[in-house]
Amino acid sequence: MVPFASFLHHLFTILSFFTLFTINPTLSTDLGNEFSILSFNSDDLYGDYSPPSPPPSPPEPRPPSLSCSEGLNATGSFDTVCELNSSLILDNDVYIHGNGSFYILPGVNLSCPHLGCSIVVNISGDFSLGSNSVIIAGLVSVNASNASLFTGSMINVTAMAGEPPPMTSGSPRGVQGAGGGHGGRGASCVTDNSKLPDDFWGGDPYAWSSLEEPKSFGSKGGSTSKEVKYGGEGGGRTWLEARNSIVLEGNVVADGGDSGMKGGGGSGGSIYIKGLRMTGSGRISAIGGNGFAGGGGGRVSINVFSRRGEPGIFSHGGRSLGCPENAGAAGTYYDAVPRRLIVSNHNLSTRTDTLLLEFPKLPLWTNVDIQDHAKALVPLYWSRVQVRGQIRLSCAAVLSFGLQQFASSEFELMAEELLMSDSIIKIFGALRMSVKMHLMWNSKMLIEGGVDTFVQTSLLEATNLVVLRESSVIHSNANLGVHGQGFLNLSGAGDVIEAQHLVLSLFFSINVGPGSFLRGPLDHSSSNFTRPQLNCELPNCPAELLHPPEDCNMNSTLTFTLQICRVEDVIVRGIITGSVIHFHWVREVVVHSSGVITASGLGCTGGLGRGRFFLNGLGSGGGHGGKGGDGFYEGNFIEGGASYGNADLPCELGSGSGNDSLAGATAGGGIIVLGSLDRSLSSLSVAGSLRADGETFGENFGENVGKTISNIGPGGGSGGTILLFVQTLALGDSSTISTVGGHGSPSGGGGGGGGRIHFHWSDIPVGDAYLPIASVGGNINTGGGFGRGNGRAGQNGTITGRACPRGLYGIFCEECPLGTFKNVSGSARSLCRACPSFQLPHRAIYVTVRGGVTKTPCPYKCISDRYHMPNCYTAVEELVYTFGGPWLFSLILLGLLVFLALVLSVARLKYVTADELPASVPARRGSRLDNSFPFLESLNEVLETNRNEESQSHVHRMYFMGPNTFSEPWHLPHSPPEQITDIVYEDAFNRFVDEINGLAAYQWWEGSVYSILSILAYPLAWSWLQSRRKHKLQQLREFVRSEYDHSCLRSCRSRALYEGIKVAATTDLMLAYVDFFLGGDEKRAGLPPRLHQRFPMSIIFGGDGSYMTPFSLQSDNILTSLMSQSVPPTIWYRLVAGLNAQLRLVRHGHLKLTFSHVISGLETHVKPTLGAFGIHVDLAWFQPTASGYCHFGIVVYTTEVESLPPELDGQDAFFQPEHQSRMPINHWENQIEHMRLVGLWMSQKKFSGGILHTKGLRMLKEKKAICYPFAFVLYNTKPIAHQDLVGLVISVLLLGDFSLVLLTLLQHYSISLLSLFLVLFILPLGLLFPFPAGISALFSHGPRRAAGLARLYALWNITSLINVVVAFMCGLIHYMTHSNRRHSNFPSWSFSMDESEWWVLPCGLALCKLVQSWLIDCHVANQEIQDHSLYSNDPELFWQ
């Protein structure tokens, strides 16, 4: 409270100062000598249209002026300087006039101790009253240029009053000892219970019209004795006027005289001070005198433009010794420059009024302050209190309008601001208030309307702001309208605005804080003739409830008891209660969890559905939305009240028990209408309660005072009506909307019927513009009340909503449930009919549509984005069903594939006909030559066909060790073999080996690229390996041919011509060798060696037995020339072709099995034929490396014993000691001779390797790689017939494969992009590359190139099986996770990933690829082996 009061004080000071400069702008200009506040006439600012005033009365006659020396015994002259230096007592009035100055020196007293005696000083110079000097008289008037009252000085006219103005009654009559009146009434301690306390007072106030320039004496107080006048004298008059400045450090006192307990105190006198400037902190006092009853305060007016310092100014009433609680009324203090009137009683409590009579109209006062327990009264009928600024009441101040006994007038209060702090405003009659701001702090505004209908309506208008805080109350026992354009805020507990009819209108926002109330009508206990009369018997709905007037004016003839009209926002945290509550033209209403809008128990006691009762008072419940419950008494039931009203647009009050003569009579619920048909609420948000419940018996016994109380009570009242015209509604989880019936009496009263709740939606959006209009939680209840005893419960009421447009249903116009549609208007759930199921595709679900579904077919969507509208097919199914379904699509696809295959075959025949036919190669040296396997000859043979001269100088062929891979590249052993020791320098040879081995090694990044490609796509890795092998061979050749200086050769000719060493390799680039030749200048005999001198001679196979590089014997011109020394070339060529045909069938990983066929062929076909020429051939292995890799080949040696070495030590002699345990044992026919020869070879030839025979194969150890399982799919096979047919079938399968790949990709795209990504890129693009690889293989030129590309095609084809496995796994995972979504209306034979046939495509694709692999093997065999007799088991047929 104190901080708020302090805040108001500072606020008022600032506003006053601002208003001062606003009122008179010239006050802020230069304050030079030319300006005179005495000559300033503020009336010039306003137009005065009233008749001219009569001329002023002539001035009072003055006695002759005294001289300074003779009259006052002072020194000097009044025309210069007069100094009074000794005290002086005067007997008569004194008038002092002169052009000089007048100084009363310190400690000097000037007095005229007679009542009403006057001392008037009118000089042109200065006036000063020295320290501790005193002037005593009944009237002291000083008019000077400057006036100074120094410390301790005093002008004292206390209790020195003369006669008060005529025709006044300031002095009380009688012997009650009342106080005298002047500015305020004198107090009276008389009490009379038959009268109001305000009806007793002492002397009357007077001189209201001259309070701006007060000039009246105070009045004498009353006496308690007729004989003796014990009352105190009234205060005198002081007039202090300076043309320039005033120094006020002393006191100016015009108090009323004290009288003790036998008389009343005198009233205060008058003080008027005028000047341009005033300084000092003295005291100005015109207080009433103390006595049995205190005297009223006097009047003080100060007209000083500029003040420095804060002098104490007092005009309060005197203390009442006989009744301390009722001091004299406060006088008035008028501050003329800001035009401010202050009525303050200095915190002395009083029941006595200070009268505020007619306020000036031109110019208006700026501010009026009533404070510190002052009690002010505006007694005149039809008065207007109007100021330009503030009216402030604070500190227990009271402002009353009219008289309580005669409440038949209307009053006006007009100001910028009405500020109330701990204060009260009472209006007896009606009030028209117009302010901009109305602030209340622990204050009350009480309006007591009279019997006159003209004064039953009060209107309070606050343009900007109305705030009630700290239990502030605005109360009217009649009609009250509160209007504004800003905010109305009831801040918290105890803040109340209430009236019998209450209208709040035109505000921007209304906030009803927690614990605060808006109430209309008042409680039952305050019932009077102004209580609204409810239309309980009206059968029809009042028109103003549905179409209220637009003006929002207070009209007590309307049905409303509480109306909020034309307000933007209403926020309810407190309680709004009324019989008929109506919100009209309101944009948004928010009811918080603590907020309640209630009309419970405020309806009709009777009504259309009133209950019935027995003679003893027990009765049934009232009816409304539901029938009232039957009452029961002594075995008899009495029927409950009937239901009535329109459920689709209810607007009726609830009915009660029907017997209002009993104290326990119950009333029905009232009406709550939010919005109207013309102006609905934009938004209603409820977290609290909306209630219009019927009254329960026994709830309000205490309010029915004066009525007969019965032990047997009636039934409960019926619920009322809640009618909501809204656009959107939000009901919180804790919200309640209730019109339940009340409970009956315990003796058998019936329960009240439930009321009615109706939601009348306005502008329900439809279609795409639809948004949910209601969010509903909490509780909506229209249940009937309980019947107690044997009474029956009331029936439930109704909850309805406006008929919903098409697509919407229910009370809250929600969208019809999924799978239903509604094509008619209405709210019934049954209007939402089920959508036809035959119109819903499989794999489709119904979808919600904004605004609901209004027609068929109902909108739907596929269950996943992988399905496509309108039939929700996958991409595969969409393609399949576009062409007539699975079976027809399959036939069309098959026909298309055959057709395209035929086209490809025809194009292939025309494109490669010439290359497909094997070229005729003439027989060499006139002999018969088999050309069935021409391309398996060495690259050297093709590029260097005329190298017969080289074969004549060939000395030895030295093979590289290793498989030429990134992990184990080619390398030569360092020790030169014995065959070339005679033609090379060993040290230089070792350096040559180091150089060539370094050159043959690969860079690290080449192997890294290969490793990465092996993981991603092995065919690319294979191509990369072959390209690096070819590049490495080219480097070796260039090195030997042009870079190496051949310094290891002994021949000068060879070194000079860079000849004598040549590097070559097999076509598969896995086997390389170095050939050494004679230079022609060697001086050694036996060079070059003959064939038999080279025995045993090893011939190593190229390749490694894999699918891409099968074993092959490369027979170049040198080897052919050497073998022709013992074997005819035709026999040798046929041997090479047959051996290569058998080596094609050898598979890495199955060497034990497949090499056995080669050994068997050597035994049956080769050895018998070559034995006739003295040549023996055996399968052998050579050059093992540290990693376990070794080459395979044949060992050629002679069968002539005389040409062999003299010793033979068994077959194991062919092996180095460390390999003997791994090698098989072979037995010749002459085993002793064979052992002797082998032993000799071991010692002479340093043979590194071993012979392979049938029994020894069992001990052969094989390494199996990670790709070992693919060897069962990809392997070299024997040729088959119908080469063109095989090509045609491959074409069909290739096109079918590509078609299945596309279908599979579409299928997995339908599953998800992730599935598509996995299938495509594990391994990367493995599914897509087989098709271009196959086309390239089919359309390649020549059998050799065709076979190579076909192998690469086969490699891509088998690699893509990994993608097929990934596709299978993705399909399986998807099927396992989505199998529960299978639709019953989906046929089992359909082509779908959702059903058990999900495996069809991946399995079909896998089968297609496996068949392709087999056919590609056949196609490669047909390309490579065109002479099928090479596989003949008949040796004669083989050698033909």
Model pLDDT for residues 507-557, shown as the tens digit of each residue: 999 999 999 999 989 876 454 566 778 888 887 888 888 888 888 887 878
β-bridge pairing 844-846 and 860-862 = antiparallel
Report d(CA 253, CA 617) in Å as an integer. 74
CB-based contact 142:239 (threshold 8 Å)? yes
DSSP SS3 for 898: helix
Q: What is the CA radius of gyration of the chain?
A: 64
Contacts of 995 (CB under 8 A, 6+ apart): 1039, 1044
Q: What DSSP element (H or E) covers 1180?
A: strand 1175-1182
Q: What DSSP element (H or E) covers 895?
A: helix 886-916
pLDDT at residue number 73 = 87
Kindly report the number of other CB atoms within 10 A of residue 396's CB atom.
20
Q: What is the DSSP string of 1069-1136?
A: SS-EEEEEE--S----TT-SPPHHHH-SEEEEPBS-SSSSS--B----HHHHHHHTTTS-HHHHHHHH
In the chain, which residues have pLDDT < 50? 1-54, 57, 525, 527, 701-708, 914-947, 1201-1229, 1231-1232, 1235-1236, 1238-1239, 1242-1243, 1383-1394
Residues paired with residue 1198 on neighbouring β-strands, in sequence order: 1175
Tokens encoding 146: 């400057």
User: What's the pLDDT tens digit per position in 1189-1231?
Assistant: 888 999 888 866 444 443 333 333 333 333 333 333 343 445 4
Residue given tokens 């065959």 in the structure block: 979
Kindly report the number of other CB atoms within 10 A of residue 273's CB atom.
24
Handedness of CA 1356, 1359, 1362, 1364 (dihedral sign): positive
CB-based contact 807:816 (threshold 8 Å)? yes
Say if residue 85 is exposed, middle or buried (CB neighbours under 10 Å; 0-12, 13-18, 19+): middle
Q: Is 646 left (phi over 0), alpha (psi -120 to 50) or beta?
A: beta
Contacts of 1311 (CB under 8 A, 6+ apart): 866, 1370, 1371, 1374, 1393
Residues paired with residue 1102 on neighbouring β-strands, in sequence order: 1112
Closest CA to 845 of 833, 854, 858: 858
User: Hey, what long-range contacts does 1381-1390 have (CB within 8 A, 24 or more apart)?
Assistant: 1381/863, 1383/842, 1383/843, 1385/842, 1386/842, 1386/843, 1389/886, 1390/877, 1390/886
Q: What is the DSSP string of 1011-1078?
A: HHHHHH-HHHHHHHHHHHHHHHHHHHHHIIIII---TTBS-HHHHHHT-SEEEEE-TTSS-EEEEEE-
Residue 157 DSSP class: -
Q: What DSSP element (H or E) covers 951?
A: helix 948-953
Burial 418-450 (b: 16+ CB within 10 A, else e): bbbbbbbbbbbbbbbbbbbbbbbbbbbbebbbb
The rounded Cα 716 to chain-centroid distance in angstroms is 49
Report d(CA 1308, CA 1372) in Å as an integer. 12
Contacts of 473 (CB under 8 A, 6+ apart): 443, 444, 445, 446, 494, 495, 496, 497, 498
Closest CA to 875 of 1224, 278, 1311: 1311
CB-based contact 401:411 (threshold 8 Å)? yes
Q: What DSSP element (H or E) covers 990?
A: helix 986-1000
Residues paired with residue 632 on neighbouring β-strands, in sequence order: 637
CA dihedral 765, 767, 770, 776 (to 10 degrees): 90
Instruction: Count H helices and E strands in the chain, helices first.
Output: 23, 67
Tokens encoding 272: 């008027």
Residues paired with residue 410 on neighbouring β-strands, in sequence order: 430
H helices of 654-798, in order, are none
CB-based contact 68:78 (threshold 8 Å)? yes
With both helix axes pointing from N to C terminus, report the angle between 1330-1338 and 1400-1424 in degrees, rounded to the nearest 10.
Answer: 30
pLDDT at residue number 1237 = 58
β-bridge pairing 575-578 and 596-598 = parallel
β-bridge pairing 75-76 and 81-84 = antiparallel
Report d(CA 1438, CA 1433) in Å as an integer. 8
With both helix axes pointing from N to C terminus, report the angle between 1313-1321 and 1283-1311 in degrees, rounded to the nearest 10.
Answer: 150
What 3 state SS string does 446-468 have? EEECCCCHHHCEEEEEEEEEEEE
What 3 state SS string does 317-352 have? CCCECCCCCCCCCCCEEEECCCCEEEEECCCCCCCC
Tokens encoding 901: 């295959």
Residue given tokens 């038999």 in the structure block: 1092
Backbone φ and ψ of 371, nearest 5°: -150, 170
